[in-house]
């Protein structure tokens, strides 16, 4: 099992004199990154190729320690690769952060301090942290970190630690989770996070953004500037709300699986947003689908399962929402209700989560699935023609 990297954000106690030293280091780091990005062919993304072309000049020109120059080269290389994957343009580097490795960063658990190599020397800083950060850092020997200056002017060090992974829980029992718009998440045990109140809040944000955008395009210069500032604050507020809720949902799901010694199964929804956007829909439905961070919820589930030693598997999403959890035949879904000829009636999302749970249990059975639908047969024992299209492959 691969290890997990956790980032522990710690506030630094910085005196005014050292604050100027940090600012000079961050400015030099940003200038170095911007120069490298401007001088090297945009098609070149490899770290070694960039290093050979720029290292000696950067070392002499920007007066940074050798390892900070190497970190600047790595920053440009990784950002170029990310921009290439997203088919986006690489933005200008700002003096807000700098990367550190074991040669220019060290952590002292005894005194809860860190030592950082800056532009003109190596300095020690106290960590202004609480019990949560101390718990994550206790017994660890971190070898990398990121120095950050926030908009408030405060300085933080984001320390990367690699805790020893827990042993993965093996179980034939599976907790199925259905993700959707009507219910953000519905588990096979009946736990549900309904989206009605959340959608009401998101609609409020959308209407408020629409009003501010209209005002930002007309009026006085000061009113337009004020509207743009409010739009920026509103965007951050909604993003933080989504992140908080996804953290809460993923934690509850993983803790439920851990307490009941189950694995977790979800649908593989990769590319579903692109598929939905190809269908004819109005602007309201398109915004509802595209505005929620379902991928973020999956990422949170993934790393929390890794943290608690819970196995996470994905199953094909085909027919999970219309298959009967009792007999596995195609049933009748009408909005939030589901019914089947076998007599099974259930909430549609709960039914889907049970189907996902059964599919997830199949993945852990190398001897064979044992999953099939109850088909109608005639007196001779042959399958009826009306039942054959409803069969599930075993």
194 belongs to a structural domain:
yes
Task: Identify the domain boundary among 107, 133, 161.
Answer: 161
Task: Identify the domain boundary among 120, 135, 161.
Answer: 161
How far is it, in rounded angstroms, from Cα 351 to Cα 346? 6
Among 54-63, 209-218, 318-327, the range of highest mean pLDDT: 54-63
DSSP 197-247: HHHHHHHHHHHHHHHHHHHHTSS-HHHHHHHHHHHHHHHHHHHHHHHHHHH
How many other C-beta atoms can be found within 10 angstroms of the C-beta atom of residue 85? 8
Closest CA to 267 of 345, 152, 359, 151: 359
Among 17-31, 223-237, 340-354, the range of highest mean pLDDT: 17-31
123 belongs to a structural domain:
yes
How far is it, in rounded angstroms, from Cα 108 to Cα 21? 21
Contact predicate 356/269, CB 8 Å: no
Instruction: Note whether 155 and 182 are same-domain residues.
Output: no
Closest CA to 264 of 364, 351, 182: 364
Instruction: Note whether 189 and 146 are same-domain residues.
Output: no
Cβ-count burial of 339 within 10 angstroms (0-12 exposed, 13-18 middle, 19+ buried)? middle
- Please determine, for residue 336, whether its predicted confidence score (pLDDT) is greater than 80: yes
More confident residue, 381 or 174: 174
Closest CA to 152 of 12, 29, 6: 12
How far is it, in rounded angstroms, from Cα 353 to Cα 267? 9
| Averaged pLDDT for residues 203-222 | 80
Query: Which residues are CB-contacts of 373 (< 8 A; sequence separation ≥ 6)?
Result: 327, 328, 329, 390, 391, 392
Query: What is the radius of gyration, based on Cα positions, of the chain?
Result: 27
- Helix crossing, 16-39 with 66-85: angle to 10°? 50
- Please determine, for residue 21, whether its predicted confidence score (pLDDT) is greater than 80: yes
156 belongs to a structural domain:
yes
| Averaged pLDDT for residues 177-198 | 85
Task: Identify the domain boundary among 161, 185, 211.
Answer: 161
Instruction: Note whether 225 and 114 are same-domain residues.
Output: no
For residue 276, what pLDDT is reported?
53
For residue 201, what pLDDT is reported?
78
User: Over pLDDT 70: what percentage of the chain?
Assistant: 85
51 belongs to a structural domain:
yes
Instruction: Note whether 197 and 73 are same-domain residues.
Output: no
Closest CA to 21 of 159, 147, 128: 147
For residue 367, what pLDDT is reported?
58
pLDDT tens track for 283-311: 555 555 555 667 888 889 988 998 888 99
| Averaged pLDDT for residues 92-115 | 95
118 belongs to a structural domain:
yes
User: Over pLDDT 90: what percentage of the chain?
Assistant: 44
pLDDT tens track for 124-133: 999 999 999 9
Number of domains making up the chain: 2
Instruction: Note whether 178 and 153 are same-domain residues.
Output: no
More confident residue, 109 or 194: 109
Residue 18 domain boundaries? 6-161
- Please determine, for residue 8, whether its predicted confidence score (pLDDT) is greater than 80: yes
3-state SS, residue 83 = helix
Read off the tokens for 71: 């970190």
At 121, give phi and psi (nearest 5°).
Answer: 155, 180
379 belongs to a structural domain:
no
Q: Which of 98-112, 150-164, 374-388 has the lowest mean pLDDT?
A: 374-388
pLDDT tens track for 225-260: 888 888 877 777 777 888 898 999 999 999 999 998
């Amino acid at each position: 099992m691969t290890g997990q990297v956790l980032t522990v954000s710690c506030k630094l106690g910085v005196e005014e004199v050292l604050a100027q030293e940090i600012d000079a280091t961050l400015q030099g780091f940003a200038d170095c990154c911007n120069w490298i990005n401007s001088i090297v062919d945009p098609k070149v993304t490899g770290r070694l190729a960039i290093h050979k072309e720029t290292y000696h000049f950067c070392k002499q020109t920007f007066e940074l320690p050798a390892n900070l120059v190497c970190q600047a080269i790595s920053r440009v290389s990784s950002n170029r690769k990310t921009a290439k994957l997203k088919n986006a343009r690489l933005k200008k580097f700002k003096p807000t952060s700098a990367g550190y490795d074991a040669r220019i960063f060290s952590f002292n658990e005894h005194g809860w301090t860190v030592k950082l190599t800056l532009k003109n020397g190596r300095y020690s800083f106290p960590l202004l942290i609480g019990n949560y950060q101390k718990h994550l850092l206790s017994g660890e020997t971190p070898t990398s970190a990121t120095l950050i200056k926030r908009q408030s002017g405060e300085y933080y060090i984001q320390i990367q630690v690699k805790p020893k992974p827990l042993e993965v829980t093996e179980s034939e029992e599976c907790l199925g989770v259905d993700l959707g718009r009507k219910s953000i998440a519905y588990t096979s045990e009946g736990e549900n996070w309904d989206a009605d109140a959340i959608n009401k809040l998101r609609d409020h944000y959308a209407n408020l953004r629409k009003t501010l955008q209209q005002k930002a395009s007309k009026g006085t210069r000061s009113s337009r500037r004020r509207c743009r500032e409010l739009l920026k604050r509103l965007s951050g507020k909604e993003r933080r709300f989504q992140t908080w809720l996804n953290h809460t949902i993923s934690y509850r799901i993983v803790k439920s699986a851990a307490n009941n010694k189950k694995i977790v199964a979800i649908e593989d929804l990769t590319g579903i947003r692109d598929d939905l956007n190809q269908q004819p829909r109005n602007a309201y439905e398109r915004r509802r689908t595209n505005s929620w961070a379902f991928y973020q919820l999956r990422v949170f589930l993934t790393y929390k399962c890794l943290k608690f030693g819970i196995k996470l598997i994905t199953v094909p999403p085909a027919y999970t929402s219309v298959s009967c959890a009792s007999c596995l035949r195609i049933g009748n879904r009408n909005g939030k209700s589901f019914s089947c000829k076998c007599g099974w009636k259930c909430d549609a999302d709960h039914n889907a989560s049970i189907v996902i749970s059964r599919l997830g249990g199949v993945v852990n059975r190398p001897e064979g699935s044992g999953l099939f639908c109850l088909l109608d047969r005639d007196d001779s024992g042959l399958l009826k023609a009306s039942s054959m299209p409803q069969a599930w492959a075993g």
